[in-house]
Structure 1
Amino acid sequence: MDLKENPKSEARNPKAASGAFTLIELLVVITVIAILIALLFPAFQSVQDQAKRTQSKNDLTQIVTAVNAFYTEYGKYPTTATTDAGAKFGPGGVANSALFNELRAVSNVLNTRLIVFVSPPDVKDPNNPRSGIARNTTTINGISVIPGDFVDPWGTPYSVAIDANYDNQVANAYTDGSAGGDPNATPAYALRIGVIAWSFGKDQTIGTKTPASSSYTNSDDVISWQ
């Protein structure tokens, strides 16, 4: 008796082989994609970080320009402080909302003509504020944020120092003040300028003051005067 091959068996085997090959292909593709993601992620992260630094630098330029424009308009800076120490806004000083409420014409205590000198957008997420005016009270990396604060792309309020005693110099936050008040001392702790602004950067911590002459070096902070 002739034995005939089962046509169903013939048809089934190619399908099974094809299915197994497709699964192997899929695993290879997934592996390749995972490797590519691992290789490209640092570059993507670097691009994101640079974009945030650029945004922060632009914000700082606008802040300094706004404060100087206020001075041009009113003949004085937007602060009631009479010492430079009292006109330091941001972490470690007066909440920067006190400054930006005036510059945004939210308050008319100092900005009596209600001129808008700067108009940052409100943050998109009030509970995780980034790049704009905070709407809720929260804490970012141990730093308090209140409504009206102007925060950087990493969520920390911008710092601003103003020459409140009008001696044409402000303390440089990145040098050691032990040298005294002489801006020409070594290290020079004062900057001959009316207003400066800075961001703590991605690590949300101000650059260290050690060594005193180069505390900004190698930090991720963003500053207005360089």
Structure 2
Amino acid sequence: MKTRGFTLIELLVVIVILGLLLTLGSKGLRAARINARKAKAHVEMKAIETGIMAYFNKYGKLPAPDSCQGLEDYTDSATIITVITGKDEVLNPAKIVFLEPQGEPVGVFLDPWGVPYQVVLDTDYDGTVDIMGATAGRKTAAVSTGLYDATGNTNDVIFSWH
């Protein structure tokens, strides 16, 4: 009794089909990972904004030095994060933790790509903030540039208000 095996052509066809399936699957998987990171960035930026507004409700001012209140928008993200994480005794004398980022940041809060978030405060109290060439009608805003830094595509800048 003679058993029939697979021909070389049949094996090559199967290999090509498997290769195509892996290629298509990896592109979809990559897009899903990017979308998950974008969603995480949005959640973290909302947490930053919520922490800033909780600080504002407690102290009646935005978390910036008094010398900057009433001047143009304040953009020292490291100071802002330090204040709302309760690590600045001067601007947050009660040491209230308004934001608890994962890990132990030293004045920074990193986006899912490992790049510090950019945060801006409306310290001139004109009702708008300007950041990365965009204007938003709000007291505070945050931006993630991690994906943009990786791709160079300006459409990959993630704004907290979009």
* Normalised-by-shorter TM-score class: 0.7 to 0.9
Kept in 2: contact 1:200–1:206 (CA 8 A): no
Aligned twin of 1:3: none
2-structure distance, mates of 1:191, 1:48: 28
Quick one: distance in 1 between partners of 2:54 and 2:158?
22
Q: CA RMSD in A?
A: 2.7
Report Cα offsets for 1:37-93 as digits up to 9, x if no partner. 1111111111111111111111111111110110000111111123234x11xxxxx
- The partner residue of 2:121 within 157, 162, 167 is 162
Contact 2:114/2:146, CA 8 A, preserved across alignment: no
Give secondary structure in 2 for the equivalent of 1:203: helix
Matches within 5 A, 1:1-226: 21=6, 29-80=14-65, 81-82=68-69, 83-85=71-73, 87-88=74-75, 94=76, 96-122=77-103, 134=105, 147-175=106-134, 190-204=135-149, 207=154, 219-226=155-162
TM-score, length of structure 2 as denominator length = 0.81
Tell me how many residue pairs correspond in the alignment: 157
User: Which amino acid is the alignment partner of residue 84 of structure 1?
Assistant: E
Residue matched to 1:179: none
Per-residue CA shift, 1:149-202, capped at 9, x if unaligned?
111111211111101122332225334xxxxxxxxxxxxxx4332111111141
Determine the C-alpha separation between the residues in 1 that align with 2:72 and 2:28. Answer: 41
Q: 1:105 to 1:224 in 2, by over 3 A?
A: same
Q: Which amino acid aligns with 1:67?
A: I
Report % sequence identity. 29
- Give the CA deviation at 1:27: 6.0
Whose RCO is larger (CA < 8 A, sep 6+)? 2
TM-score calculated relative to the size of structure 1: 0.60
5+ long unaligned stretches in structure 1: 1-9, 89-93, 123-132, 135-146, 176-189, 208-218
**Cα shift at 1:106:** 2.1
Name the CA shift for 1:167/1:38 in 2 (closer, same or farther; >3 Å): same
- Closer, same or farther in 2 for the Cα pair 1:24/1:192, shift >3 Å? closer
Say which one has the larger Rg.
Answer: 1
CA contact (8 A) 1:53 1:201 kept: no
Deviation at 1:26, TM superposition (A): 6.7
Query: Structure 2: 5+ residue runs without aligned partners?
Result: none
